[in-house]
Chain A
Amino acid sequence: MYLTSLEERMLAGEYGYAAQKAMEILVALGKIYDAERMIEIRSAQISGVSYSNLGEEGLEFLLKLAEDGRVRVPTTLNPCGMDLEEWREMSVPEDFAEKQLRVIEAYQRLGVEPTLTCTPYLAGNMPGFGDHVAWSESSAVIYVNSVIGARTNREGGPSALAAAIAGRTPLYGLHLDEARRPTIIVRAPRISGELDASALGYHVGRIIMSGVPLFTGLGAVSRDQLKALGAGLASSGGIALFHVEGITPEAHMYSREHVEDVIEVTESDLRDEVEMLDEGFDDPDLIFIGCPHASIEELTEVYLLLGGRRVSRRFWIFASKTVRAQAERIGLLAKLEALGVRVYCDTCPIVAPLKRLGFKNVLTNSMKAAYYLRNLHDVRVRLKPLQGLVEDAVR
C-alpha cells in the first residue's frame, strides 16, 4: 500500500502514540481490502459510546489516545445511554450515569463533538456530494451514502475513530464507483409514512443480505421515509447503500449492466414483515418515535396529529439536541410538552438501560427499534404507524 511521507511518519510514531495506533489500524484495513492508498476524509461519526460495551479497559484506551491525540476532522458521536441533562427524570441509575459521563469526557478530550445522535446529518455534520468520510452507525452510514451521496464504508467505532485521528481512511469499497453501482432492482409498492418505509427496508435487507438495491416505483418519498428505509435495510441486511429512481443523487449515474436480479415487493409483503415483529398487545407502557432520531418534521407531525389532545400514556420522542433546539425556537417544544409529550436527546431506547427503567410493553413505528429491543432488552414490542401511536397515546 502506498503511503505519503506524512502517513509514513505517523505510522513510525513521529506524531505520537494516538496517530501511530490510528495508522496501524488503517494500514491493516487497507491491507485486508487491497487498498492502493489512503484518502483524506472530511468528517467522521463514531459509535461505541456505551460504557457497558467499552468497559473500564476501553475507557482507559480512549484516555491513552487522548494523551497525545486529537481528531483532524470534524467528528461527531453516536447516542449514549441517557439524556445528559434529564437522566434523573428518565430514572437512569446514578452509577450508570457516572460511568457514561466519563466516556463522553474522554471523547471530548480527543476533540470529538458530543452530538450524541445517530442522525449527525440533522445536527450539523452534513458532508457534500462525493465527499469521502468515515462513519460508523449503520443507519447514518446508509443515509450519508444514499441520500447525500458522500462516500463511506460501514466503519466500526474504533476504525472510524482511527480515521478521525489520522484524517484519512484506506481507499476501497464504497469510496470507489465500482461498489456503488446497483446490483438488484426492487420494484416497490407506493408507501406512506415511516413504518411502511421501515418495513420495506427491513424486508428487502432480509432477503438480499448484500449488494446495492435500486428502488423503482416508490413515487415521492420524504427525507424521513428515506431515513427509515435505510435504517431498515441496514439493520436486517447490513446494507450500506441504496438508490431510489428519480430521488437519490446517484440513482441515474451508473449503468445497470451489473444488476443481477429484479425482485418485486407488494403491500402484503410489508404487512407480513411488520406482523413478524409485532407482538400484539393493547396496553403499552411506553410509546416512542425516534429510531433513528426524529427530525423537526416528525415532531411537527406528532403535534398536528395530536390536534390539541393530551397524551395519557408516556409518549417519548428521541431526537438530537439540534432538532430539540430548533423545536424550542419555533415554540413547538413547549406546545408538545404542554400536551404531555417528552423530547429526549443524547440517547435512544436501544442504548438506554431500558429494562432498568422498568418498561415491558413498548409501542413504536420503527422496525429497527423493534428488532433490537426484542433481541437486546427482552421487552415486548408493538408496531403501528405514527397515527396509531398518537391515537393509542391519547386513549
Chain B
Amino acid sequence: MKLLLEGRVIWEGHVEGEALATRQPISFYGGVDPETGRIIEKGHELEGVSISDKILVFPYGKGSTVGSYILLRLKKRGLAPRAIINQKCEPIIAVGVIIAEIPCVDLIDVGRISTGDILRIDGPRVEIWKRMPKP
C-alpha cells in the first residue's frame, strides 16, 4: 500500500529510508547520546534505540536549545538520522537540521507513519510504503 503526503520543507532533501516513528516528542539535549546516536531519555518509548541513518518521525522537539548542536554533532560523526519528519517543527529541530544539513519536512500527519515503513522524501512530498503486516 502506498500513501502520499505533502508537508513543508524545513531543509530540502531527496532521500529514501526506513522510518523510526514515535508519538512522543524528542529532546536532543540530554535525550540523545551524541557519541552513540541512541535515545537515552529515561522512560522514552524509544529509549536505547539508535536513530542513526533512520528517517526519524516524531511530533516535535522539546528541551534545551543546545539540542540543535547535538544534531550537528551526530551528523559530523555519521550518526545522524537520514532525515526528520515532524508534525510541527519548532526552533530547536529547525535550527539543528539547517546547521547540520539534514533533510526535514514538517506539517505531516506523523500518526500515519509506523516504524518499519519505507519512506521517500522528495522536497515537501513524503511517499510511504506501509510495512507488510506480519502473518
Q: Check B134 for interface membership: any CB of A closer than 8 A.
A: no
Q: With A48-B66, A53-B29 in contact, is A61–B99 under 8 Å at CB? A: yes
Contact with A along B1-22 (1 / 0, CB 8 A): 0000000101100000000000
**What is the CA–CA distance of A57 and B70 in the complex, to the nearest angstrom?**
9
Q: Are B94 and A32 in contact (CB under 8 A)?
A: yes
Contact residues in B for A58 (Cβ distance below 8 Å)? 69, 72-73
Q: Check A193 for interface membership: any CB of B closer than 8 A.
A: no
Q: Are B34 and A158 in contact (CB under 8 A)?
A: no
Q: Check A24 for interface membership: any CB of B closer than 8 A.
A: yes
Contact residues in B for A155 (Cβ distance below 8 Å)? 65
Q: Are A28 and B94 in contact (CB under 8 A)?
A: yes
Q: Check A25 for interface membership: any CB of B closer than 8 A.
A: yes
A-B contacts besides A29-B95, A157-B65, 19 pairs, CB < 8 Å? A21-B99, A25-B94, A28-B94, A29-B94, A32-B10, A32-B91, A53-B69, A57-B69, A57-B73, A58-B72, A58-B73, A61-B69, A61-B99, A136-B65, A156-B65, A156-B91, A156-B92, A157-B68, A158-B69
Q: Are A21 and B98 in contact (CB under 8 A)?
A: yes
Q: Are B95 and A158 in contact (CB under 8 A)?
A: yes
Q: Check A159 for interface membership: any CB of B closer than 8 A.
A: yes
Q: Are B90 and A32 in contact (CB under 8 A)?
A: yes
Q: Check A54 for interface membership: any CB of B closer than 8 A.
A: yes
Q: Are A25 and B95 in contact (CB under 8 A)?
A: yes
Q: Which of B45-91 contact A (CB under 8 A)?
A: 64-66, 68-69, 72-73, 75-77, 88-91
Q: How far is the CB of A357 from chain B (nearest CB, A)?
A: 22
Contact residues in B for A162 (Cβ distance below 8 Å)? 95
Contact residues in B for A156 (Cβ distance below 8 Å)? 64-66, 68, 91-92, 95
Count how many chain A residues have C-beta atoms less than 8 Å from C-beta atoms of the other chain.
Answer: 23
Contact residues in B for A28 (Cβ distance below 8 Å)? 10-11, 94-95, 98
Q: Are B99 and A25 in contact (CB under 8 A)?
A: yes
**What is the CA–CA distance of A157 and B66 in the complex, to the nearest angstrom?**
7
Q: How far is the CB of B33 from chain A (nearest CB, A)?
A: 12
Q: Are A24 and B98 in contact (CB under 8 A)?
A: yes
Contact residues in A for B76 (Cβ distance below 8 Å)? 57, 60
**Interface range on chain B: under 10, 10 to 19, 20 to 34, or 35 or more?**
20 to 34
**What is the CA–CA distance of A309 and B115 in the complex, to the nearest angstrom?**
66
Q: How far is the CB of B66 from chain A (nearest CB, A)?
A: 5
5 contacts across the A-B interface (CB closer than 8 A): A21-B98, A31-B10, A55-B34, A61-B99, A156-B92
Q: With A156-B65, A157-B66 in contact, is A57–B91 under 8 Å at CB? A: no
Q: Which residue of B lies closest to A157 (CB)?
A: B65
Contact with B along A34-60 (1 / 0, CB 8 A): 000000000000011000011101101
Contact with B along A51-87 (1 / 0, CB 8 A): 0011101101100000000000000000000000000
Contact residues in A for B8 (Cβ distance below 8 Å)? 31
Question: Of the candidates B66, B72, B106, which one forms a contact with A57 in the assembled complex, judged by CB atoms under 8 Å apart?
Answer: B72
Contact residues in A for B11 (Cβ distance below 8 Å)? 28
Contact residues in A for B34 (Cβ distance below 8 Å)? 55
